[in-house]
Amino acid sequence: MVPMNSSCNSNGYSPHSLAAKPLRQRRGGRRSRDRDGVALPRAAEPERRPCTEFDMAYFQSYSHVGIHEEMIKDRVRTETYKSAIMQHQSFIAGKPNPRDRPDRIVVVDVGCGTGILSIFCAQAGAKRVYAVDASEIAIQANEVVKANNLSDRVIVLHGRVEDVEIDEGVDVIVSEWMGYMLLYESMLGSVITARDRWLKPGGLILPSSATLYMAPVTHSDRYKESIDFWRNVYGIDMSAMVPLAKQCAFEEPSVETISGENVLTWPHVVKQVDCYTVTIQELESVTTRYRFCSMMRAPLHGFAFWFDVEFSGPTIFPTSSDSPLCVGSSNDNSIDGSHRKKRANPNEALVLSTAPEDPPTHWQQTLIYFYDPVELEQDQIIEGSVTLSQSKENPRFMNIHLEYASGGRAFVKESVMR
């Protein structure tokens, strides 16, 4: 994920300074036009959130080359995006439609980072790509574009998506907005803003939908490494360290890689996101109730969260994903049908998955560990609820309120993902 919003730039650049000359920047006054050149009515501008000190720190964190190197080297991530763009090449390139006229496709890349996705879109034939990023990495992105002789088609805008001006409608929005646990860092809000400001009716959003999952996990090795280690240190009883060790190891969510063998049941869907219709307000707080049946006898050490995203048209979701069904019982042979997205043809949808059983990505999985494990028997019920909400202190932080009960005992775990 790459941040993209800010007019608050410490180096004195204005939100449009990188693109002022190559852009032939147009501001205000002129209305967007559809593909036939007919003027479109101007939609009401969405309310623009002010840029805060937390935003400035967030953007600054993405100015370091290391984080972009990590993301680009994530081949699952980068190659899936490239494949998705090329899968939609006929649309992006504006190939002749049934009326035998070429469309002239405009793309906006929200949070362009080094500009790699923007360049993929240009290579796919886009007429023009607006590459938007608030971080100072946009300066390097502009140089990358020049080095690849694409300045006439890729226009780098250094600023927040809420603040930059694009005086035409766009046909495609591409963005790698996903954070740990899908919603961490709240970047999806900027994609929604771009959609509401510029996307034409019938436009394409990549990725088009996302799903956040959770499942109970067992991870005895992790517990032994962090906790049981202190019970005997070179023959010395250091058990007095255990309470502090638990707090330090398990107070906050942990981003790490687990395997499918750690997962005790089939997953539950926490949140499904349709990028064509989701609202910013909808993401401020997400709550779901769950009910699992353990598939084996094992200690329950916590819950793992992961996500996948799809690159397709609008997705049809079930009417309710929060019904507390028992998923993972012995007669289930897949994710419960009521917790699964409906696809017209699953073979047509490109999926980027961060699930434990799939090839690893830089997102890994996010684990919320209990301070003390719960011993489970096979078919034992684990039920409760989880609420993910944006922090009042800093909306890019995530507050997690987890309630769980099993074997007649109930627990509450609260943590913050900073």
Q: For the segment 49-80, what is each residue's pLDDT rounded down to a tens digit?
A: 788 888 888 888 888 999 999 999 999 999 99
pLDDT at 171: 96
The pLDDT of residue 26 is 29
The pLDDT of residue 47 = 67
The pLDDT of residue 39 is 37
Which residues are annotated as catalytic?
176, 185
3-state secondary structure the chain: CCCCCCCCCCCCCCCCHHHHHHHCCCCCCCCCECCCCCECCCCCCCCCCCCCHHHHHHHHHCCCHHHHHHHHHCHHHHHHHHHHHHHCHHHHCCCCCCCCCCCCCEEEEECCCCCHHHHHHHHCCCCEEEEEECCCHHHHHHHHHHHCCCCCCEEEEECCCCCCCCCCCEEEEECCCCECCECCCCCHHHHHHHHHHHEEEEEEEECCEEEEEEEEECCHHHHHHHCHHHHCECCECCHHHHHHHHHHHHCCCEEECCCHHHECCCCEEEEEEECCCCCCHHHCEEEEEEEEECCCCEEEEEEEEEEEEEECCCCECCCCCCCCCEECCCCCCCCCHHHCCECCCHHHCEEEECCCCCCCCCCCEEEEEEEEEEEECCCCEEEEEEEEEECCCCCCCEEEEEEEEECCEEEEEEEEEC
Higher pLDDT, 55 or 3: 55
Quick: pLDDT tens for 134-170: 999 999 999 999 999 999 999 999 999 999 999 999 9
The pLDDT value given to residue 75: 98
Question: pLDDT at position 56, please?
Answer: 83
Lowest mean pLDDT among 53-57, 122-126, 380-384: 53-57
Give the per-residue pLDDT at 38: 39
Is pLDDT at 18 greater than 80 in this prediction? no
On the question of pLDDT at 7 being above 50, the answer is no
Q: What is the pLDDT of residue 60?
A: 87
Asked if the model's pLDDT at residue 35 lies above 80, the reply is no
The predicted pLDDT at position 239 comes to: 97
pLDDT value of position 347: 53
pLDDT tens profile 229-266: 999 999 999 999 999 999 999 999 999 999 999 999 99
To the nearest whole number, what is the mean pLDDT of the chain?
84
Q: How much is the pLDDT for 359?
A: 98
pLDDT of res. 340: 39
